[in-house]
Amino acid sequence: MATKKLYLSDHICTDFRCRVVYEQKEIEESRQLQEHFRQHRSPIELDLRNWDLDSEQLADLIPQFRGWTPGYILQTNGFQHDARVVLDRDAVFDPDAVEDCSSEIEDMIRELGEQGQYIIFRTYKLFPHCDIVYIWSIGEYNRRKAFYRELIRNRYDDCSCSSDGRPDSSRNSADFRRRVF
């Protein structure tokens, strides 16, 4: 099966569209989504794919995120967290750290099932120390996509934000915090 490109926003925003995972076809077909991402920022791309462990340089294919994780958005959209590999504490900003533990990641994928499709990414930050490779699977994303999107829409539908992703200054900030956090 081919790689499926998934897109999500990488910034804090109260607009529900920033909390949804989109497929490439959805963005291509929607001028409204294209305009939304043009105003905010280009979405982050993640690959949902079968990982051919024999022929690929695993470390080169894993995206890396410093200071934040797309895991919360994936979970909110019905994806399933399957595994994680904690990297060496001394290698927190070392780009080769993933390569050093690639055999451990490969073992984890074999244990989960090589025929499955997975999203794999690395999240790292210095304080508090966090350097982890996460493995996610499709979970209920395809089957219950509309359900999860409606939940997200209901949570964020009355919030608004400016084009830079900050809450609209005309709104009461305490009211905003109560609804979003």
State yes or no: pLDDT of 120 exceeds 90. yes
d(CA 165, CA 122): 24
For the chain, the structural domain boundaries read: 4-180
Confidence band, pLDDT 50/70/90 cuts, at residue 170 = very low
Position 23 scores a pLDDT of 92
Are the C-beta atoms of residues 7 and 43 closer than 8 Å to each other?
Answer: yes
- Give the chain's mean pLDDT: 79
Are the C-beta atoms of residues 129 and 92 closer than 8 Å to each other?
Answer: yes
DSSP for 109-125, please give it. Answer: HHHH-TTSEEEEEEEEE
State yes or no: pLDDT of 14 exceeds 80. no
d(CA 49, CA 41): 25
State yes or no: pLDDT of 157 exceeds 70. no
Q: How many CB atoms lie within 10 A of CB 85?
A: 18
Confidence band, pLDDT 50/70/90 cuts, at residue 121 = very high
State yes or no: pLDDT of 9 exceeds 90. no
Position 91 scores a pLDDT of 67
Taking CA atoms, 11 is separated from 41, 75, 123, in Å, by 8, 16, 15
Tell me phi and psi for residue 154, to 5 degrees: -65, -35
Q: How many CB atoms lie within 10 A of CB 78?
A: 19
One-letter amino acid identity for 159?
C
More reliable by pLDDT, 152 or 26: 26
State yes or no: pLDDT of 87 exceeds 90. no
Give the position of tokens 């290698």.
91
State yes or no: pLDDT of 158 exceeds 70. no
The model's pLDDT over 47-80, given as tens digits with 9 standing for 90+, comes to: 999 987 775 678 888 898 887 889 988 998 999 9
Look at 80-89, 142-151, 153-162 and tell me which has the smallest mean pLDDT: 153-162
Confidence band, pLDDT 50/70/90 cuts, at residue 4 = very high
